[in-house]
Structure 1
Amino acid sequence: MKRILFVCIENACRSQMAEAFARRYGREAVAVYSAGSRPSGKIDPKTVEAMWEVGYDLTKHTSKSLREIPDIEYDAVITMGCGDECPMVKAKHREDWAIPDPKHWPIDQFREVRNRIEQKVQGLLESLKITSPL
């Protein structure tokens, strides 16, 4: 089983969407986590709406701190563009996707970010040799 961690500052939007897509497409082949360097404590309502539109319910997700995730070596740690804000986490592979935070954007632009994250997650899973049953 591969272990993946997605990190952004608030863990309220981008990393939550990435976690959701990795869970959807990776199924039992991955253990997926997301966290924030300064978590907001809540999931952005537009994130919940945007993921609901593609059939994923984020209402049970919570915004978490990096201190709340397992202290293990991850197969991949993906940051969403938070740069120096994200502390080092043990990882075999590390990548920054440089995805802008859409929290103040209109829903159409928000959806574009969601779709970009979905594509990047699918590419990540392929690179880790994880095939989707969907």
Structure 2
Amino acid sequence: MRILFVCTHNRCRSILSEALAQHAKLPHIQAASAGSDPAGEVHPDTLLHLAEAGVSTQGLRSKSLMEVEDFQPQMVIMVCDSAAQSTCPTWTGEALEVHWTLEDPSKIDDEARRRLAFKECIQEIQTRILKLSQAIEKSAENRDALIIELERLGADVVDHSSLNS
């Protein structure tokens, strides 16, 4: 399943999610990320904490939604509230839209607290990716079954295909 992780600036949470999903090497997940208003650069602490976790940072960069159009996601996961409020582009019309609220660790001023917040965010994303993978596997990629599994895990899900019917 092609999964696009989206946040506003594509410099922290969506980048963490993309990198961690790729690092997990799960057979049924292909990951990419983008921002609704990309910053143009990845937050330095994002790269630092991924490297410390043993996750490759090669090729990671802040991208716009237009730059990943060819990816054609089957699922779009919004990882921050401000991105969830933006208008979804038309090319995600058939994609499931899932909302994962994640606190932005890069916004914390105190260095020790920011470091801890990055570690906690990485752990939370890893847990969610594993549960997402299990939900995809359990549902055998049946859309209705997948929605039920995702909601059971506490995710907010919007099925754009049912809105277009």
Relative to the length of structure 2, the TM-score reads 0.70
**Are residues 114 and 72 of structure 1, via their aligned partners in 2, closer, same or farther at CA, if it must alter by over 3 Å?**
closer
C-alpha displacement of 1:30: 3.0
Distance (Å, rounded) in 2 between the aligned partners of 1:43 and 1:65: 12
Partner of 2:59: 60
Number of residue-to-residue matches in the alignment: 129
Q: Percent identity?
A: 29
Q: 1:86 to 1:7 in 2, by over 3 A?
A: farther
Question: Could you say what the CA RMSD is over the residues aligned between the two structures, in angstroms?
Answer: 1.9
Q: 1:103 aligns with which of 90, 106, 121?
A: 106
Letter of the aligned partner of 1:53 in structure 2?
A: E
Question: 2-side partners of 1:86 and 1:11: how far apart?
Answer: 16
**CA distance in structure 1 between the aligned counterparts of 2:11 and 2:94, rounded to whole angstroms:** 22
More helix by share: 2
Deviation at 1:96, TM superposition (A): 0.4
1:84 aligns with 2:92: no
- Larger-Rg structure: 2
Instruction: Write out aligned runs for 1:94-133 (5 A).
Output: 94-105=97-108, 106-129=114-137
TM-superposed CA distance for 1:43, in Å, is: 0.6
Query: Which consecutive residues of structure 1, in runs of 5 or more, have no partner in the other structure?
Result: none
* Cα distance between partner residues in 2 of 1:72 and 1:22: 15
1:48 counterpart SS class? helix
Which structure 2 segments of 5+ residues have no match? Answer: 109-113, 139-165
Is the 8 Å Cα contact of residues 22 and 125 (structure 1) preserved in structure 2? no
Identify which of structures 1 and 2 has the higher relative contact order when contacts are C-alpha pairs closer than 8 Å and 6+ apart.
1
- TM-score (norm. length: structure 1): 0.85
